[in-house]
């Protein structure tokens, strides 16, 4: 995304640019927004319209919003040949309308400048982020991780109650909550459903963790090794592998935190991916790790790597794990008995988890 703009429709003079981000960009001509206004007039039943300018090479997404008797547009500007906004629109058609409403309501406050920056950053990052980085952000981003903890504890929750908890207990601004929740929906961690006509209820259907697992290609690891001590290397590797997993506690938070630190390091993350396919000479390993001998020694000490005869092998792979939150059955039952959720909420969430369990052929996890 190239730009985000707030336009006010002045009944006397037409469209006026109120605010844009980045602010240093040249303001688009008024006739462009007149064309967008005309499209809104022709499609009065639709909150969002699209316009592509071949001359400018941009695609414009405009969401109309009324506030205190005035009309505004939130306009997102994209490169028509590169950027893609369709993913966001298709996952939740109401998302941009919600973002537009929240921004417009802040126009005459001192919060608007920071709010439009946060909206720009969140929308832009959403369309660029890679799979593993997105999963990592559920732990690295404080608000995302807090939401995940709330969902684990509460089970089914309304958007209203989620906003209240985030604001009152954790001090988070919830301006971009809709966009953040979309990332949960896209990764199939939650679903959004209606209860009593209210569509803003969220249900956790998959939890997320970071774990160690044995590498998939262990047999192939030793095919390329030509060393007279090959059998000794193989036996020592197997012994180290068994010894580690014999004592490994997948739920220990210290272990998870350490793994997340490794994955957040771009050199380590790239290095571990390479080792999934073949062992590596220590000299080559140091090249990938930006000659950081300390981190190489730490990975060996922490049993991520196995070192022998000048080679390093992947001993324990670091992967994300999606799993069915079966633990919520007990939690939902307790919350219902305490009167904290309704019967429809209780039955609705239990049904979703049970259906997912039956559809998964009793394998209730996925290694990513």
Q: What is the pLDDT of residue 345?
A: 93
Q: Where are the alpha helices (DSSP H) in the chain?
A: 30-42, 86-91, 95-104, 112-128, 131-140, 142-154, 159-168, 177-186, 218-221, 230-247, 253-264, 266-275, 282-288, 293-301, 328-337, 343-359
In whole angstroms, give the CA distance from residue 271 to residue 288: 6
**Residue of 126, 160, 133, 98 whose CA lies nearest to 1:** 126
What is the C-alpha R_g of the chain? 26
Q: Considering the entire predicted model, what is its pTM?
A: 0.76
Q: What is the pLDDT of residue 122?
A: 74
CATH, domain range 131-206+325-367: 1.10.10
Per-residue pLDDT of the chain (368 residues; tens, 9 = 90+): 788 999 999 888 999 999 998 888 888 888 899 999 989 888 887 888 888 888 888 888 899 988 888 999 999 888 877 655 666 666 566 778 788 888 888 888 888 888 888 888 777 766 555 667 789 989 988 999 999 999 999 999 999 999 999 999 999 888 778 878 888 988 899 999 888 767 689 999 999 999 999 998 888 888 877 767 788 889 999 999 999 999 888 877 777 888 999 999 999 999 999 999 889 999 999 999 999 999 999 999 999 999 998 899 999 999 999 999 999 999 999 999 999 999 999 999 999 999 988 887 656 788 88
In whole angstroms, give the CA distance from residue 270 to residue 333: 43
Q: What is the pLDDT of residue 84?
A: 59
In whole angstroms, give the CA distance from residue 272 to residue 263: 9
In this structure, which topology does domain 3-127 adopt according to CATH?
A: Beta-Lactamase (3.30.450)
Give the HSE-up count for residue 179: Cα atoms under 13 Å, Cβ half-sphere: 21
pLDDT in tens, 204-237: 999 999 999 999 888 888 887 776 778 888 999 9
In whole angstroms, give the CA distance from residue 256 to residue 318: 10
The domain spans of the chain are 3-127, 131-206+325-367, 209-321
Three-class SS of residue 163? helix
pLDDT in tens, 277-295: 889 999 999 999 999 999 9
Q: What is the pLDDT of residue 243?
A: 94
């Amino acid at each position: 995304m190239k730009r985000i703009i707030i336009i006010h429709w002045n009944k006397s003079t037409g469209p006026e640019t109120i605010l844009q981000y980045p602010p240093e960009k040249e303001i688009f001509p008024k006739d462009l927004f007149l064309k967008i206004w005309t499209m809104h007039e022709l499609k009065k039943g639709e909150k969002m319209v699209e316009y592509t300018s071949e001359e400018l090479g941009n695609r414009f997404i405009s969401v109309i919003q009324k506030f205190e008797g005035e009309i505004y547009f939130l306009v997102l500007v994209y490169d028509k040949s590169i950027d893609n906004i369709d993913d966001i629109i298709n996952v939740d058609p109401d998302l941009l309308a919600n973002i537009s409403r929240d921004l417009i309501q802040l126009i005459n406050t001192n919060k608007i400048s920071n709010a439009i920056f946060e909206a720009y950053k969140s929308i832009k990052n959403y369309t660029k982020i890679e799979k593993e980085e997105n999963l990592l952000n559920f732990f690295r981003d404080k608000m995302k991780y807090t939401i995940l903890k709330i969902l684990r504890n509460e089970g089914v929750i309304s958007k209203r109650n989620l906003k209240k908890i985030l604001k009152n207990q954790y001090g988070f601004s919830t301006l971009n909550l809709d966009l953040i929740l979309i990332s949960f929906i896209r990764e199939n961690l939650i679903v959004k459903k209606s209860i009593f006509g209210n569509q803003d209820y969220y249900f956790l259907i998959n939890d997320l963790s970071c774990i160690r697992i044995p590498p998939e290609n262990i047999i192939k690891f030793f095919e390329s090794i030509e060393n007279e001590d090959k059998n000794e290397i193989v036996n020592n590797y197997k012994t180290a592998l068994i010894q580690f997993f014999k004592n490994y506690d997948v739920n220990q938070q210290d272990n998870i935190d350490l793994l997340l630190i490794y994955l957040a390091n771009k050199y380590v993350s790239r290095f571990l991916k390479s080792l999934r396919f073949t062992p590596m000479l220590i000299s080559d390993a140091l090249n990938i790790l930006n000659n950081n001998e300390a981190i190489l020694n730490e990975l060996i000490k922490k049993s991520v790597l196995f070192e022998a005869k000048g080679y390093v092998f992947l001993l324990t792979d670091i992967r994300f794990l999606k799993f069915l939150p079966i633990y919520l059955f007990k939690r939902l039952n307790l919350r219902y008995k305490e009167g904290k959720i309704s019967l429809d909420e209780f039955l609705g969430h239990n049904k979703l988890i049970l259906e997912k369990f039956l559809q998964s052929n009793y394998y209730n996890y996925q290694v990513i």
